[in-house]
Amino acid sequence: MKIHYDVEGGEFISAGVASSKLKKTLKQLGISPNVIRKVSICMYEAEINMVIHADGGVIDVEITPENIEILIKDEGPGIEDLDLAMQVGYSTASSKAREMGFGAGMGLPNIKRHSDGMKIETKVGEGTKLELIFNIK
């Protein structure tokens, strides 16, 4: 099963709509609550990142009997120092993002902790691609 989501940038209020839709779909498919929770946390963190930093992007999800693969792509500014971005507490988020409770520098470390596989490719000025894998069994 393949699902595609478009995420609009700058829409701070509607950020999380794609995550909400995916969560609903996973529930309908009877995926275990523990896996849904992990996917939801990562997807939401990634969606928020995309809205805060990259003016939106696209998310493609593929669900097989074995796993859930999520590909998150944006054409934003890219991440200048990935090692720094992976550190807890490091953030370049705007004050607007902080007003809504984000930008604490927890996003990428939290995604890494809750996914079963994470690959990130980023190029300054071109964008960021994040691949996540979650085992269903």
Partner 1 sequence: MLVSEIKEILDAEILAGEDMLDINIDYGYGCDLMSDVLAFVRHDIILLSGLVHPQVIRTAEMLDINAIAFVRGKKPSSELIRMAKLKNIILLTTKHTLFTACGLLYKNGLEGEEIAHDEDSL
- Closer to partner 1 by CB, 19 or 122: give it: 19
Binding of residue 88 to partner 1 (CB under 8 A): yes
Nearer to partner 1, 66 or 135 (CB): 135
Pairing of strands 127-135, 117-123: antiparallel
The two tokens of residue 66 are 């074995």
Q: Which long-range contacts (CB under 8 A, 24 or more apart) does 104-107 make?
A: 107/45, 107/46, 107/48, 107/49
- Of the candidate spans 34-42, 53-61, 71-79, 129-137, the one that interacts with partner 1 by CB under 8 A turns out to be 34-42
Contact by Cβ (8 Å): 25, 59: no
Judged by CB under 8 A, which of 3, 8, 20, 129 binds partner 1? 20
3-class SS at 62?
A: strand
Residues found near partner 1 in the complex (CB under 8 A): 12-13, 15-16, 19-20, 23, 33, 37, 40-41, 44-45, 48, 88, 99-107, 109-110, 113
